Amino acid sequence: MEHGMRGEHMHGSGHSHMHGYGKKAWMEKMFMKEMMEHLSSEDKKKVAAAKLDMKISLVEKQLEILKEKKKIIDMKMEMKAQMKGQKIELLKMMRDMIKYKM
């Protein structure tokens, strides 16, 4: 069963690259993991809560960006609709001019 070059690579090779982790990010992750092992359970809870706060903040920012994009797209669609309406009026005027001048 041929799958191109898949058979030549070990499972998971390039996995960290695919998820945007460079060597530095991987080392930071390992450092944090090592540090977490030495923290008290109370400190671990604080770190977990801080991570969740960061994620909440990130998702809130993403939501705001989406809302702004939606506003821009809505404005763009409204402008297009107005332009189509104006085009219809212009075409009707041209039609009427042709009809009544002939």
Q: 39-64, pLDDT tens digit by residue?
A: 888 988 998 999 999 999 999 999 99
Dist. CA 27–CA 88, nearest whole Å: 62
**CB-based contact 39:47 (threshold 8 Å):** yes
* Domain extent at residue 31: 1-38
- pLDDT band per the 50, 70, 90 thresholds, residue 5: low
71 in any annotated domain: no
8 in any annotated domain: yes
10 in any annotated domain: yes
How many structural domains are present in the chain?
Answer: 1
Residue 76 pLDDT greater than 90, yes or no: yes
Residue 81 pLDDT greater than 80, yes or no: yes
32 in any annotated domain: yes
Which residue bears the tokens 């009544």? 100
